[in-house]
Amino acid sequence: MHIVLLGYMASGKSTIGKLLSKQINYPFLDLDEYITQNEKLTIPEIFAQKGEIYFRKKEHEYLKEVLQNKQDVILSLGGGTPCYANNMELIHQQNALSIYLRASIATLTDRIVKHKSTRPLVAFLTDEQVPEFIAKHLFERRFFYEQAQKTVSIDAKTEKETVQEIIQFLQ
């Protein structure tokens, strides 16, 4: 079975994916890390050297590759992955369980501001600009995120509680 975690940056996809991996003994794979390994460039380097169109094309190819592998996996997507190249359709065609980790603008802002320098999309923004940036992105992406088969609200929950809620879906 493929369990696909999606949501906005800082929603906890990688953290929850790794914890879930330990709980249910499935391997964990971060799609951005998979792309980085295969392309031998970081995501910001791919964007800078080859452009977003190239990146989105490769992202789709690697997503397809991972989903077509029959091995059980917990897959964490990049925040934009569901929004391009009919990737949500691809996920559902492959019989994967897609789970949207939904967070409020306030939760995302709090998390992103703390680690802004490590997030190229927001590193150039002032702390005051971050909530509006997130709100705009969420508005654009919500349509795709809400195509997930399950939604887990992560606000006011511990990572452990979020993992337990996901495990309930699997039973």
For residue 130 the two structure tokens come to 């971050």
Query: What single string gives the DSSP state of each residue in 101-155?
Result: EE--HHHHHHHHHHTGGG-TTTTTS-GGGHHHHHHHHHHHHHHHHTTSSEEEE-T
Q: What is the CA radius of gyration of the chain?
A: 15
37-53 per-position pLDDT tens digit: 999 999 889 988 999 89
Rounded to a whole number, what is the distance in angstroms from the first to the last CA of the chain?
Answer: 13
Percent of the chain residues past pLDDT 70, beyond the cut: 100
Mean pLDDT to the nearest integer, 113-142: 92
Asked if the model's pLDDT at residue 118 lies above 80, the reply is no
pTM of this prediction? Answer: 0.96
> In 3-state terms, what secondary structure has residue 81?
helix
Q: How far apart are the C-alpha atoms of 102 and 162, rounded to whole Å?
A: 11
Q: What angle do CA 17, 160, 156 make, to 5 degrees?
A: 105
Q: How far apart are the C-alpha atoms of 13 and 41, rounded to whole Å?
A: 22
Mean pLDDT to the nearest integer, 92-119: 93
2-19 per-position pLDDT tens digit: 999 999 999 999 999 999
| Helices marked H in 69-129 | 87-93, 105-114
